[in-house]
């Protein structure tokens, strides 16, 4: 496929406006050090400073990525008029408190990029979205899988109508993650850390599901207590579309002496076409671009196989920050806004409830109105 055809598929958005806005980075762990900052440098974004709970880590990360200033505290960062956007990359349990500290300094910060999960429960997430709205601060959530290039290419095919009406979409993860220390002791393991990517992408592709059926079990390898290590779920959409996810973080005894078979694959079947994709993430730290192959019911019975050099890790991380910068520069709501992300948090809650209670869960059981005035509970 030609470069023009690849570009027309829309795998990569145009450069955002607002790239001159000053970004303050909060956190100096893996995601910030190895994903956010390299992607921002490549995209030409302006990171003006960094702070972290462990200042030594902040200094090391600043030196590695030529960040000009290290702040001793978050409050010192917020007092700097050069910081207009705050990029928060801290553990999920700590993130609400960091966002609340930012909102306590009104008028200084224009936008926040929060990690997924925005919060570990829907009520807390609603409160953060409402607080940002009251303060006039744009809130973007780093659901960065939406900016994987194969995921965006499929979105373009769907929006153009090339694939017809949706029939069945599936995402299958067979890979062993490196659980961060903060994962231990939380109310959820895979649902709010791994499955949240796929649940959000299925919303991005197909819209809002009506019902969820799910089954979870512990991962035999993970030693700390948890319920939702391996997740299986089915989503029902209006109009008949269906989706499912198999998030298998055991994926066989590869670390116990068997051969490994790790991958993340997706498949989308429509009434007029079929698309297959593979996500390059399991190859990290090697740079492995994701792929898409698709065929249309146009009488030619041919496969189209566009390819590109970008990879989900780290390139997609420029996309979510770019969406926030563009929203601030053009005065519109961010593309992965906190308000939108409440529906992904609700979907995570529905997966947990369905598995725990052994029932079909309707999404209208959850209140995703940040004002708290919706009828659903």
The pLDDT tens digits for 210-243 are 999 999 999 999 999 999 999 999 999 999 999 9
Give the single-character DSSP code of 256.
G
Beta-bridge partner residues of 277 = 266, 292
pLDDT value at residue 55:
96
For the chain, the domains span: 12-144+320-337, 148-311
Q: Residue 371 — φ and ψ, nearest 5°?
A: -75, -15
User: What's the confidence (pLDDT) of residue 138?
Assistant: 98
Q: List CB contacts of 370: < 8 A, sequence separation 6 or more.
A: 126, 127, 129, 130, 133, 338, 339, 342
**Paired residues of 2 in beta bridges:** none
Predicted local distance difference test score (pLDDT) of residue 107: 80
User: How many CB atoms are closer than 10 A to CB 123?
Assistant: 11
DSSP lists the bridge partners of residue 362 as 211
CA distance 377 to 365: 6
pLDDT of residue 10: 59
**Which numeric CATH code is attached to 12-144+320-337?**
3.40.50.720
Nearest to 49 by CA among 293, 32, 152: 32
For Cα atoms 241, 342, 129, give the angle at the middle one, nearest 5 degrees. 155
Query: Which residues, other chains included, contact 241 with Cβ-Cβ below 8 Å and sequence gap of 6+?
Result: 165, 166, 167, 168, 169, 206
Q: Which CATH class is domain 148-311?
A: alpha beta
- What is the DSSP-derived secondary structure letter of residue 106? T
Give ∠ CA 217-222-225 in degrees, rounded to 5.
Answer: 70
Strands (E), the chain: 22-26, 46-51, 85-88, 111-115, 138-142, 166-174, 211-217, 230-236, 242-248, 263-270, 273-279, 291-296, 361-362
Which pLDDT does position 11 carry in this prediction? 61
**pLDDT, position 106:** 81
Answering whether pTM is above 0.85, one says: yes
Contact 132, 152 (CB under 8 A): no
| CA-CA-CA-CA dihedral for 112, 115, 120, 123, to nearest 10 | 20
In terms of Cβ atoms closer than 10 Å to its own Cβ (0-12, 13-18, 19+), residue 353 is middle
Q: Which parts of the chain register pLDDT below 70?
A: 1-8, 10-12, 372-377
How far apart are the C-alpha atoms of 296 and 166, rounded to whole Å? 13
């Amino acid at each position: 496929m030609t470069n023009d055809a690849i570009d027309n598929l829309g795998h990569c958005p145009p450069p955002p406006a607002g790239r001159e806005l000053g970004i303050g980075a909060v956190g100096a762990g893996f995601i910030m050090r190895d994903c956010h900052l390299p992607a921002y440098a490549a995209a030409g974004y302006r990171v003006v400073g960094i702070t972290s709970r462990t200042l030594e880590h902040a200094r090391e990360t600043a030196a590695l990525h030529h960040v000009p200033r290290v702040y001793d505290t978050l409050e010192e960062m917020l007092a700097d008029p050069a910081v207009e956007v705050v990029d928060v990359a801290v553990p999920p349990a700590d993130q609400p408190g960091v966002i609340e500290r930012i909102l306590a300094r009104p008028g200084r910060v224009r936008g926040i990029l929060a990690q997924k999960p925005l919060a570990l429960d829907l009520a807390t997430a609603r409160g953060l979205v409402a607080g940002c709205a009251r303060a006039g601060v744009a809130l973007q959530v780093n659901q960065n899988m939406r900016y994987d290039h194969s995921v965006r290419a499929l979105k373009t095919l769907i929006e153009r109508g090339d694939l017809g009406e949706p029939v069945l979409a599936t995402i299958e993860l067979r890979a062993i993650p490196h659980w961060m220390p903060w994962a231990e002791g939380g109310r959820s393991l895979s649902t709010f850390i791994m499955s949240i990517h796929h649940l959000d992408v299925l919303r991005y592709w197909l819209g809002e599901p009506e019902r969820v059926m799910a089954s979870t079990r512990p991962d035999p390898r993970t030693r700390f207590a948890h319920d939702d290590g391996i997740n299986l779920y089915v989503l029902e959409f209006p109009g008949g579309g269906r989706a499912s996810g198999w998030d298998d973080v055991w994926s066989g005894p590869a670390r116990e002496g068997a051969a490994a078979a790790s991958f993340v694959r997706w498949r989308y079947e429509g009434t007029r076409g079929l698309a297959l994709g593979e996500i390059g993430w399991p190859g990290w730290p090697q740079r492995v671009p994701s792929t898409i192959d698709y065929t249309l019911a146009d009488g030619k019975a041919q496969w189209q196989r566009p390819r590109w050099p970008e990879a989900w890790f780290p390139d997609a991380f420029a996309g979510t920050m770019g969406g926030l910068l563009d929203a601030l520069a053009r005065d519109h709501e961010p593309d992965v806004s906190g308000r939108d992300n409440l529906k992904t948090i609700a979907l995570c809650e529905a997966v947990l409830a369905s598995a725990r209670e052994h029932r079909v869960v309707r999404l209208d059981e959850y209140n995703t109105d940040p004002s708290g005035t919706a009828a659903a509970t």
